[in-house]
Structure 1
Amino acid sequence: MSQDGSSPGLAIASAAPASAPGLRELAGLLGEIGDLKRVHAAHLEDSVAGGRFASAWAALVGGADVREVALRETAAAVTGARLGAIDARVLA
Structure 2
Amino acid sequence: MSRQEVLLTIEKALGEVLERPVTGLTEDTALFDELHLNSLAVLGLLMTVEESTGIAIDPEQLDIDHLRTVRSFADYVEAALREGEAS
- TM-score (norm. length: structure 2): 0.30
- TM-score (norm. length: structure 1): 0.28
Structure with higher helix content: 1
The structure whose Rg is larger is: 1
